[in-house]
Amino acid sequence: MLEIDNLSIKVENFYIVRNVSLSVRKGEILGIIGESGSGKSITALSILKLIPESLKISGTVKVNGRDIYELEEREFNKNIRWKTVSIIFQDPAASLNPLLTIGEQIKEAIIFHEEKKENLKDTIINLLSEVEIKEPETVYKSYPHHLSGGMKQRAMIAMALSCNPDFIIADEPTTALDKQTEHKIIKLLKNLSKNKNTGVIFISHDIEVIETIADTITVMYAGFVMESGETGEVIKKPYHPYTKGLIECIPKVEGKGKRKLPVIPGNVTDIKSRPSGCPFHPRCSKRKEVCQRELPPLKQIEKRTVRCFFPEYEAV
Ligand SMILES: Nc1ncnc2c1ncn2[C@@H]1O[C@H](COP(=O)(O)OP(=O)(O)O)[C@@H](O)[C@H]1O
Ligand SMILES: [Mg+2]
CB distance 246 to 33 below 8 Å: yes
Mutate to test the pocket of ligand 1, among 7, 9, 16 (most ligand atoms within 8 A of CB): 16
Residues forming beta bridges with residue 58, ordered by sequence position: 8
Does the beta carbon of 16 lie inside 6 Å of ligand 1? yes
Residue 241 Cβ contacting ligand 1 at under 6 Å: no
Q: What is the pLDDT of residue 268?
A: 66
Residues 120-145: what's their mean pLDDT? Answer: 95
Average pLDDT over residues 128-152: 95
**Would you mind telling me the total number of residues written for the chain in this entry?**
316
Residue 40 burial (CB count, 10 A): 23
- Is 108 domain-assigned? no
In-domain check, residue 309: yes
- pLDDT tens digit sequence for 211-250: 999 999 999 999 999 999 999 999 999 999 999 999 987 6
Closest CA to 1 of 39, 27, 40, 31: 27
Confidence class for position 258, pLDDT limits 50, 70, 90: very low
Q: Is the CB of 271 under 6 A from ligand 1?
A: yes
Question: What is the three-class DSSP state of 251?
Answer: coil
Which tens digits make up the pLDDT trace of 3-26?
Answer: 999 999 999 989 999 999 999 999
> Which run of H or E residues covers position 136?
helix 136-140
**What pLDDT, on a 0 to 100 scale, did the predictor assign at position 102?**
97
Mean pLDDT of 160-169: 95
Does the residue 143 lie in any domain?
no
The domain containing residue 232 runs over which residues? 2-84+165-315
Dihedral Cα 216, 221, 227, 229, nearest 10 deg? 0
Residue 13 CA to residue 23 CA, distance in Å, equals 27
216 lines ligand 1 (CB under 6 A): no
Q: What pLDDT, on the 0 to 100 scale, is given for residue 251?
A: 64
In 170-236, which ranges are continuous DSSP H helix?
Answer: 179-196, 207-213, 231-236
CB atoms within 10 A of CB 266: 10
- Who has greater pLDDT, 251 or 233? 233
Contact (CB, 8 A) for 254 and 309: no
Ligand 1 atom closest to residue 9's alpha carbon, by position in its atom list: 12
Asked whether the predicted pLDDT for residue 92 surpasses 50, the reply is yes
Domain harbouring 169, CATH code: 3.40.50.300
Is the separation of the CB atoms in 16 and 9 below 8 Å? yes
- Is residue 260 predicted with pLDDT exceeding 50? no
What pLDDT is recorded for position 257?
46
Residue having the nearest C-alpha atom to atom 25 of ligand 1: 37
Residue 275 pLDDT grade (very low, low, confident, very high; cuts 50, 70, 90): confident
Instruction: Confirm if 151 and 139 have CB atoms less than 8 A apart.
Output: yes
Contact status, residue 264 vs residue 283, Cβ threshold 8 Å: yes
The answer as to whether 137 is a domain residue is no
pLDDT at 90: 87
* Low-confidence winner among 21-25, 90-94, 280-284 (lowest mean pLDDT): 90-94
Answer whether residue 92 is part of any domain.
no
Query: Does any ligand 1 atom lie closer than 6 A to the CB of residue 38?
Result: yes
Tell me the percentage of the chain whose pLDDT exceeds 70.
93
Structural domain contains residue 270: yes
- For residue 149, is it within any domain? no
Q: Which atom of ligand 1 is nearest to the CA of 38?
A: 22
Ligand with smallest separation from the Cα of 172: 2
pLDDT per position as a tens digit, 42-73: 999 999 999 999 999 999 999 999 999 999 99
Average pLDDT over residues 203-211: 94
Q: 10 Å Cβ neighbour count for 194?
A: 12
Confidence check: pLDDT of 141 > 50: yes
Residue 278 counted as domain residue: yes
**CA of 62 relative to ligand 1 center, distance in Å:** 22
Mean pLDDT rounded to a whole number for the chain = 91
At 16, the amino acid letter reads I
Atom 10 of ligand 1, nearest CA residue: 16
Q: Report the domain count for the chain.
A: 1
